[in-house]
Amino acid sequence: MEDQAKNRNQRVVTFLNRDEVDFLDKLGKDALFSSGSKLSRAKLIAWLVDMLKGLQITGENLHTEADLEARISAAIKQIESQK
């Protein structure tokens, strides 16, 4: 029963500007036309969250968007250097 509770989706309301919404829509449309898979905005955002979890990004001492970008870049560089 506990596993079922972990896998239930939760509704999250977010406010994105027009450019952000357009970008997500373009990703979804590109996927649809290139692979035949329709990707919703919600699915894309969920995948981004899963990616951050996989990169072991935490919120510790995170203050700005630039801080987050730097952490993501550092994590990706570390993965690339291990190849």
Tens of pLDDT, residues 20-74: 999 999 999 999 999 999 999 999 999 999 999 999 999 999 999 999 999 999 9
Q: Which two tokens stand for residue 80?
A: 């690339």
Mutual angle of helices 18-35 and 41-54, in 10-degree steps: 90
The residues, any chain, with a CB within 8 Å of residue 61's CB and separated by 6 or more, are 67
User: In whole angstroms, what is the distance from residue 22 CA to residue 64 CA?
Assistant: 23
User: Tokens 């590109």, residue?
Assistant: 30
What is this structure's pTM? 0.82
